[in-house]
């Protein structure tokens, strides 16, 4: 991946994880440039397939493209930062992130967006 693509992805995301919206400034760990559609599933290294992700979100997402909606039990695709609008699928409730749709609920579940460490980081970020 070129330095220019890495820089573009970071700038486009405004230094925030495109899944949980945590700021890079809130973490001591460097955020990852991840393939939304993983290479093992035919994803390419292009502007349209790259997203900035905190380590927590990237490691929980892994090569997953789908998950099970915890409400309906149906298979559902995960949030796609280039195609989906965050506020259509999620809402903030204090430091917690709630899914508005099947995509949102599934992504919250698979990426474990409300893990205790993530809640603590979002709480600390909100108090700065």
All structural domains of the chain with their residue ranges: 3-126
What's the confidence (pLDDT) of residue 126?
A: 60
Written as one string, the DSSP assignment of 64-106 is: -SEEE-TTT--EEEPP-TTTS-HHHHEEEETTEEEESSHHHHH
What's the confidence (pLDDT) of residue 93?
A: 93
CA distances from 63 to 2, 35, 67, 112 (A): 21, 9, 11, 15
* pLDDT reading at 29 higher than 90: no
pLDDT tens string 72-90? 999 999 999 999 999 999 9
CA distances from 13 to 58, 72, 104, 115 (A): 15, 31, 19, 22
Mean pLDDT of the chain: 93
């Amino acid at each position: 991946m070129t330095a220019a693509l890495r820089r573009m992805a970071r700038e486009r995301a405004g230094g925030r994880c495109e899944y949980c919206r945590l700021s890079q400034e809130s973490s001591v760990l460097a955020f990852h440039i991840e393939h939304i559609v993983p290479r093992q599933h035919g994803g390419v290294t292009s502007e349209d397939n790259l997203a900035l992700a905190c380590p927590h979100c990237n490691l929980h997402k892994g090569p997953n493209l789908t998950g099970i909606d915890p409400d309906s039990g149906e298979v559902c695709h995960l949030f796609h930062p280039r195609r989906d609008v965050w506020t259509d699928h999620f809402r903030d409730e204090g430091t917690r992130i709630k899914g508005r749709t099947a995509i949102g609920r599934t992504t919250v579940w698979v990426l474990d967006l409300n893990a205790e460490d993530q809640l603590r980081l979002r709480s600390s970020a909100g108090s700065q």
